[in-house]
Chain A
Amino acid sequence: MALTDDGAAPVAAALTNAGPAIEARGLRMRYGDDDVLKDVDLTAAPGEVIVLLGPNGAGKTTTIEILEGFRMRSAGEVSVLGADPAVGGESWRARLGVVLQSWRDHGNWRVREMLAHFAAHYAPFSTADRPRPRDVDALLETVGLSGHARAKVSSLSGGERRRLDVAVGIVGRPELLFLDEPTAGFDPLARRDFHDLVHRLADEEGTTVLLTTHDLDEAEKLADRILILADGRIVAEGSAEELARRVGTGSEVRWTQDGQRFVHAAPDGTAFVRELLEQHGDAVTGLEVQRASLEDAYMEMVARHESGRTAEAAAALEGIGR
Chain B
Amino acid sequence: MNRTAHLLRQGWASGGLALMASLRSVQEMLGTVAFVAAFCVGLSFMRGRAVEGTSVDAATAALPGVLGLSVVFTGVVATAMVLATEREDGTLLRAKALPDGITVYLIGKIVYAAALVLTTVALLVLPGLFLFDGLAAGLARGWPLLLGVLLLGMVATIPFGAVLGSLFDNPRLVNAVGAVPIFALTGISGIFFPITALPEWLQWIAQAFPVYWVGLGLRSAVLPDSMLSAEIGESWRHLETMGALGAWAVLGLVLAPWLLRRTARRVSGANVEKARQKAMQRV
Decide if A121 touches B21 in the complex (CB within 8 Å): no
Interface of B is mostly: helix
Interface of A is mostly: mixed
Question: Which residues of A have CB within 8 Å of B276?
Answer: 102, 104
Min CB distance, A210 to chain B, in Å? 14
Question: Which residues of B have CB within 8 Å of A123?
Answer: 1, 6
Decide if A108 touches B25 in the complex (CB within 8 Å): yes
Of the residues B13, B14, B89, B268, contact of A105 by C-beta under 8 Å: B89
Q: Which residue of the partner chain B has the closest CB to A102?
A: B273
Report Cα–Cα, A96/B96, bound state, in Å: 12
Of the residues A94, A102, A110, A118, contact of B90 by C-beta under 8 Å: A102
Decide if A117 touches B270 in the complex (CB within 8 Å): no
Q: Could you tell me how many residues of chain B have their Cβ less than 8 Å away from some Cβ of chain A?
A: 33
Given A102-B276, A103-B90, A123-B6, A70-B96 contact (CB < 8 Å) = yes
- A113 near B: Cβ within 8 Å? yes
Question: Which residues of B have CB within 8 Å of A91?
Answer: 99
- A146 near B: Cβ within 8 Å? no
Question: Which residues of A have CB within 8 Å of B273?
Answer: 101-102
Identify the interface centre among A70, A101, A152: most chain B CB within 10 Å of its CB. Answer: A70
Min CB distance, A169 to chain B, in Å? 8
Q: Which residue of the partner chain B has the closest CB to A180?
A: B269
Report Cα–Cα, A110/B96, bound state, in Å: 21
Of the residues A93, A94, A117, A180, contact of B14 by C-beta under 8 Å: A117
Question: Which residues of A have CB within 8 Å of B270?
Answer: 61-62, 65, 101
Report Cα–Cα, A121/B13, bound state, in Å: 11
- A298 near B: Cβ within 8 Å? no
- A321 near B: Cβ within 8 Å? no
Which parts of A86-126 form the interface with B (CB within 8 Å)?
Answer: 90-91, 93-94, 96, 98, 100-110, 113-114, 117-118, 120-125
- B93 near A: Cβ within 8 Å? yes
Decide if A65 touches B17 in the complex (CB within 8 Å): no
Instruction: Annotate B90-103 by CB proximity to A: 1 below 8 A, 0 otherwise.
Output: 11011011111100
- A71 near B: Cβ within 8 Å? yes
Decide if B101 touches A108 in the complex (CB within 8 Å): no
Question: Which residues of A have CB within 8 Å of B104?
Answer: 121
Question: Which residues of A have CB within 8 Å of B1?
Answer: 123-124
Of the residues B10, B22, B86, B89, contact of A120 by C-beta under 8 Å: B10
- B3 near A: Cβ within 8 Å? yes
Instruction: Give B contacts to A, CB under 8 Å.
Output: 1, 3, 6, 10, 13-14, 17-18, 21-22, 24-25, 86, 89-91, 93-94, 96-101, 104, 265, 267-270, 272-273, 276
Min CB distance, A214 to chain B, in Å? 14
Of the residues A93, A108, A180, contact of B99 by C-beta under 8 Å: A93
Decide if A125 touches B99 in the complex (CB within 8 Å): yes
Report Cα–Cα, A105/B97, bound state, in Å: 13
Decide if B268 touches A71 in the complex (CB within 8 Å): yes
Q: Which residue of the partner chain A has the closest CB to B7?
A: A124
- A172 near B: Cβ within 8 Å? yes
Decide if A105 touches B10 in the complex (CB within 8 Å): no
Q: Which residue of the partner chain A has the closest CB to B104?
A: A121
Min CB distance, B21 to chain A, in Å? 4
Q: Which residue of the partner chain B has the closest CB to A98?
A: B97
Report Cα–Cα, A113/B21, bound state, in Å: 10
Decide if A118 touches B98 in the complex (CB within 8 Å): yes
Report Cα–Cα, A103/B92, bound state, in Å: 10
Given A100-B93, A103-B94, A108-B25, A65-B269 contact (CB < 8 Å) = yes
Report Cα–Cα, A71/B272, bound state, in Å: 13
9 further interface pairs, Cβ-Cβ under 8 Å (given A117-B10, A121-B101, A123-B6)? A96-B97, A98-B97, A100-B269, A100-B272, A102-B272, A103-B93, A103-B272, A106-B91, A121-B104
